[in-house]
Structure 1
Amino acid sequence: MSIGYAALLRGINVGGHKKVPMAELREVLEGLGHADVATYLQSGNAVFTSDSTDQQALAEALERAVEKRFGFAVGCLVRDHAYLRAVAEDCPFPAAELEGRQLHATYLSEPVDAGRFASVDAQAYLPEEFRLGERVMYLYTPNGLGRSKLAEALGRPALYKGVMATTRNWNTVVKLVELTRD
């Protein structure tokens, strides 16, 4: 039975760096034997179906294929529809009342504990807030991510040592749930 997945590529097509045309990304995914391949936006979101249940193996195969095709390494997370739906449903912020640019999900390669972010004084950034979920960080930025001081503080690489992280706005979070339905 085929499972619907989203592939979340980190840091492509940003500021002219690590260019990955979406048509070529679709070819890479099809070349790996995946079906129902589609891309969403230009920021490294692809959906596909596969009979495999090993999300880590799917991500690693895609990372190798992207590096072979484009000549640079790109971190990739692969998440199934059930996980993506749970992220949307478990959001601790009132998503339905917010604009997509005000709410973000940072998908994480593995679970992290709150202690990892203890150096970030959350009170100092209010009304901006973040909360941790299952391999995800929810980030509420009322004025958008680009103006967020909290996002800047949370973006320090030292906080993610050993963990791959990639962020999507809430509109993309919701769309990926829709696109990965079985």
Structure 2
Amino acid sequence: MTKRYAALLRGINVGGHKKVPMARLRTLLEGLGYDGVGTHLQSGNAAFTAGAADEDALAAAIGRAIEKEFGFAVDVLVRDGAYLKAVADACPFPAAELEPKQLHVTYFSAPVDPARFASVDRAEFLPEDFALGDRALYLYAPDGLGRSKLGEKLSRSALNRGMIATSRNWNTVTRLVEMTHD
């Protein structure tokens, strides 16, 4: 049995660092034996079909192949289409009423302990807000992520220590759901 997956690469093609051209990423994924490979934008989003497998094992294989091909390590998360759809469907904010730049999802490599974020004084950042989901954090930033003080606070390494975390705006969240739909 095969499944559709998305590979989320963290921190590539940002400011000219860790350049990974999407055409080469597609070729790399095909070389790993994955089918139906497609990419979205230049920020490290790829969808592919593979035999049902452990997501962490797929991520590790992709990470090793990227390091071998490009000469640098990249954090990779792999999630199947059903998970990506469940995250989008569980959004606690009114996504249909918001501009896509106002809503973001940070995907984590492990379940998120709410105690990690207990020190964040939510009232200090209003109207910005966040909510935790299954290995995900939803961020509502009405002025966009670039101006978000809450987003800056939430991205600090102390809150995310020991986990891979990578964020996507709502347009990309919904596009990944589309790309991984069976």
- TM-score normalised to structure 1 length: 0.99
Count matched residues. Answer: 182
Counterpart in the other structure of 2:92:
92
1:140-155 correspondence to structure 2 within 5 Å: 140-155=140-155
Alpha-carbon offset, residue 70 of structure 1: 0.4
Cα separation, 2, equivalents of 1:181 and 1:109: 21
- The one-character-per-residue Cα deviations of 1:1-33 (angstroms, maximum 9, x if unpaired) are 210000000000011110000000001101110
Question: In structure 2, what residue type is equivalent to 1:136?
Answer: A
Cα separation, 2, equivalents of 1:94 and 1:47: 26
Counterpart in the other structure of 2:6:
6
- TM-score normalised to structure 2 length: 0.99
1:27-46 correspondence to structure 2 within 5 Å: 27-46=27-46
Is 1:71 matched up with 2:76? no
SS in 1 for 2:78: strand
Cα separation, 1, equivalents of 2:24 and 2:52: 22
Q: Where do 5+ consecutive residues of structure 1 fail to align?
A: none
Cα separation, 2, equivalents of 1:133 and 1:166: 14
Alpha-carbon offset, residue 53 of structure 1: 2.2
Counterpart in the other structure of 2:171:
171
Cα separation, 2, equivalents of 1:74 and 1:86: 26
CA RMSD of aligned residues (A): 0.6
- The list of structure 1 runs, each at least 4 consecutive aligned residues, that deviate by more than 2 angstroms after superposition, is none
Counterpart in the other structure of 2:114:
114
Cα separation, 1, equivalents of 2:155 and 2:166: 10
SS in 1 for 2:151: helix
Cα separation, 2, equivalents of 1:149 and 1:160: 16
Question: In structure 2, what residue type is equivalent to 1:128?
Answer: E
Percent identity reads: 67
